[in-house]
Each structure stands twice: as C-alpha cells, then as structure tokens.
Amino acid sequence: MVVFRGGWFVGLVLLVFGVVPAVGGVGIDVSQRGVVRVYTVAQEPDYLVPWAPGRTGEGWGSGFIIAGHRILTNAHVVANARFITIEKEGDARRYEAKVLFAAHDCDLAMLAVLDETFFEGTNALTLGPVPALDSTVTVLGYPIGGDRLSVTRGVVSRIDYRVYAHSGVDAHLVVQIDAAINPGNSGGPVIQDGAVVGMAFQGFSGMVAQNVGYIIPTPVVERFLNDVADGRYDRYVDLGIQFFPLINATHRRALGLAPGDYGVVVGEVLRAGAAYGHLETGDVLLTIDDHPIFSDGRVAMDNDRLLLNEVVERKFKGDTVRLTILRGGREMVVTYPLTTPWPYLMQARQYDVRPRFVLFGGVLFQPLSQGFFNALSDKSVLLRYYYSQFLMEELYMDHPEVVVISRVLPDPTTSYLEPFVNGIVSRVNDRPVRILDDLAEAFARPAEFYVVELLGDHPPLVFEAAAVRDAQPRIRRQYGVTRDAYLRDSMVPSEWMEEMKNEK
C-alpha cells in the first residue's frame, strides 16, 4: 500500500546498531540454531557531492535461516552494503555473504552465504500464521548490550497498517508487540509455537511510547518470497486511488446508498496509477474480489477486519483486481491489471542507487528526490512545492524528473550564477527538459551558446560552448570531479522514458 504523503511516522526508529564483534556460544535450542548475526559495511551516497563515493559506516543486525540455505533479514540492515558477513551462535568465525534480493518498500532482504559449510549444525525455520491478539511471542536476535543471542517475550497488542520507516512512504500490515525490541534486533525472527510469525524491524523511541515494537508479519514475508521466486523483485502494486469512509448518513443518502456498514467513495484517481481509465472520482466501492467493503474501508480477512488494501497487497505485478462499484446510482463491475504508481518514489528513501547528475560549465544539475531534497540546507518555495505536490498535483506529467540547479562551483565562468541555485530547468535551446537525460542530450548537441530556461520568473542562463569546453577540465581538476555525469538509477520507469522519446 502506497501512502501518498511522507513523514507521519514521527518517533519510529529502525533497529540496526553498530557494536563490537561477537563471541560464540553453546547450549541453544532448535529455533535459536536458525538465528544469525549480520555485520555490514555500508556506503551512504552524498547528494551534495554526487560524484563522490560517500562515507562508510558499519552496523549489526539479525537474521534467520529458511529453506534452501537462504537468510532473511531487513532491507535496512543491508542497504547500501559494500561488505557483509554472517555469524551463527556457537561459531566465532565470520562468513562472507551477499544480497540476493532487497525489497526496500517492505524492508525485507534475502542473503546468500558464499561458504556452504556455514549451514552445518543450523536449522531452517518455517513460517507460521499471523499471531492472534493477546497471544505470547518470543523475539530472538542480537540487540545492543551483548554479543550473545538475546531472547525476549511479549504479547501481541495490535494488528494494523503502519508506515514502514525504511522507505518512509510505504505502509503495510504490521503486528505490534510489547516485547523489548532494541537496536540490533532488526531482522530477527519472532517465534510462536516453534514457527516464525514475524520479523522484528522497527519501534518507537522511548520519548514517544513505551513497550511498543513492530514486527513484519508472515503475509508480507511470504509475498516477498513469492515475488522473488522468478529471479527478480517487482515491488508492490497498488489500486492507484485514494478513498474515503462513508460513515456519514447524509453523505450515504446523497450517493444513493441505503443505511448500513458498507462502501467507500473514491476521492482521487492517480493518472500514473492502475485505476486511471477504469475508476472515477465519486465512484463507490462496494466489493473487492468479492470481499464486501465496510464503510471504514476494511474487509473481513484472516478472521480479522483489515484495510481493503490487504487484498491488493497479496497480489503481484500484472495481477488483476475485481471491484463492484456504484456509479451514478448504477451498479457495475470493473476489472483492471495492477501496477506500481512510480511517482510516489519522489518522497521515498532510495537505497542501493547512486545520485544522478550532470555537471556543465561548473553548474551542477540534479533531479529532485528525497535524498537530494533533505540534503539541501536552503530550499526555495517553488522547490518545496514541486517536492510536496509532485504526486497529488500530477506534476510528473510535465516533469517526470524535476531537474534542479543544485550547486554552482566557483570559477571565473560561473560568476554571478549563485542566485540560480534551486532553479528548475524548463528548456535548453527551446527543447523541453522533462528528465535529466533530456538535459544531457541538449548539452551534447553542437551549438555556439546554450540557453537554459527556468520555471518561474528567473532570467535564463547562457553558456558559451567554447568557454565551457575550456573550463570543464579545470573545474573537474580543482574540485576532484571524477565524471561529468551519471545518468543511471532513474526512478522513472523505462516505459515512461520510451513514451517521452516517441513524443519528441
């Protein structure tokens, strides 16, 4: 489920921690022989100096073994990892590992250990059902405060939807427990009746709430395993709409609904979402895949009332959804294939990618993203608008990538250009710039002058081609710039890129 706004997980913290090397132990039971300790060295990109490799740091997390000599952990434990080792209880050695798949939208990752002898004496854990409310669970892992395996117990206190702090915008099913979960527990299994019923991954800081921790339940884990079974991860799909409850009796009568506890109204249909062309604003959703929809947006599933999004959460790219709707007083059935509404990635934290950029004549151009936006100390009103409203105002239709002048490197050729920082590029030599690749192509075309037009009331920038050719090597040498551009790792899907090329 995509949350079409970011930042409402105040106080949520991820449970990974940096500590000293572990020491082995003995006397552990069957479940504990499937728990591992994950050590990583990660490299964080620098969005202010995008050509630089970024700073490195190390940390610890937990994980567990499943069938096929695979290890599951949280994506945030191994995000941006450059080196990973795995340890098991009772063995002081570290075994090198690699990431097979990382799903940053649901904070899950699968690892492989390079030395198969690691699995000698270990047990593969099996997945169980979602634990019931008021039932007891056991949390295993390697939290702060020691090098040995930690075991804590708690009670399931809530089953709900919540934003996953790793991406900051994706919301999925979570199970809330009151067991002690601390930094380092990330990726560790939560056990009930000998089976894994979840994975520890985030909690509230002590200043916000006490004894509140969250685990990723098995439906989310199983969906991840099914998704990667074909050798790649395709991300979550979404209905592509916003909907609102229909509890108000007057509103229900105005829509032609009888009294009762059923139906929600469509508030917005995203043009980049799967529902565009199939649903309309004002449609009333009555059922989803034959599940009656209650007026609060929930459906009866798994002996519980869950948000209707859970029906879609268990589907995959290309699967269809079947909705019974009420439109203009007439009941009808709508079926459409599901996709991922990619523009929401503007506000999502990105991992395992490098910052995109173009450096031309000492002026640095970058596409707007969560990492870039948060790295800026000063942000113009226009830049804030394009960042916050990129999805809801459908700004992506004209600018799938918002290309920004992020920095001006001091040089004789860049005198007086500092006021243009934060400007959003509109055109270069009368050619529209919709993505960063357009800008790179425009600068690659032979010309005597390059006129860069910006959105708003800014005057254009004018580059003299000969002066740029002379200045570029000097600027690269002075500022340690290793390359003029990096154009990979775009958040814009290839089909949108191809469509834009066809429009030219």
Task: Give exposure, 389-406, as e/b (b: 16+ Cβ within 10 Å).
Answer: ebbeeebbeebbbbbbbb
- Please, are residues 492 and 400 in contact by the beta-carbon 8 Å criterion? yes
Q: CA nearest 189: which of 87, 104, 71?
A: 71
Distance between CA atoms of 360 and 440, rounded to whole angstroms?
9
SS (H, E, C) 33-45: HHEEEEEEEEEEC
Q: Which amino acid is at 342?
A: W
CA-nearest of 44, 38, 88, 46 to 63 is 38
Task: List CB contacts of 271: < 8 A, sequence separation 6 or more.
Answer: 394, 397
* Cβ atoms 89, 28 nearer than 8 A: yes
Phi, psi of 464 (to 5 degrees): -90, 120
**Strand ranges, E, within 260-411:** 264-269, 284-288, 291-292, 298-301, 304-307, 320-327, 330-337, 357-360, 363-367, 403-408
Q: What is the DSSP letter of 24?
A: -
Q: Give the largest CA-CA distance in the chain.
A: 76
Q: Which of 31, 62, 105, 107 is catalytic?
A: 107
Q: Are 107 and 122 in contact (CB under 8 A)?
A: no
Question: What's the burial of 455, exposed, middle or buried (CB within 10 Å: 0-12/13-18/19+)?
Answer: middle
Identify whether the C-beta of residue 96 lies closer than 8 Å to the C-beta of residue 85.
yes
In the set 31, 62, 150, 186, the catalytic residue is 186
Q: Amino acid letter at 39?
A: Y
CB-facing half-sphere around the CA of 422: CA atoms within 13 A: 17
| Residue from 76, 166, 172, 278 carrying the catalytic annotation | 76
Q: Kindly state the tokens that stand for 190.
A: 């939560």
**Which helix (DSSP H) or strand (DSSP E) does residue 109 occupy?**
strand 108-113
Is the distance from CB of 360 to CB of 471 less than 8 angstroms?
A: no
Does the annotation count 186 as an active-site position? yes
Backbone angles phi, psi at 348, to 5 degrees: -90, 145
Answer for the pair 48, 407: CB distance below 8 angstroms, yes or no.
yes
Active site residue 283: no
Q: Alpha helix locations (H) across 176-301? A: 218-227, 249-254
| CB 422, CB 383: distance < 8 Å | yes
107 included as an active-site residue = yes
Q: Which residues are catalytic?
A: 76, 107, 186
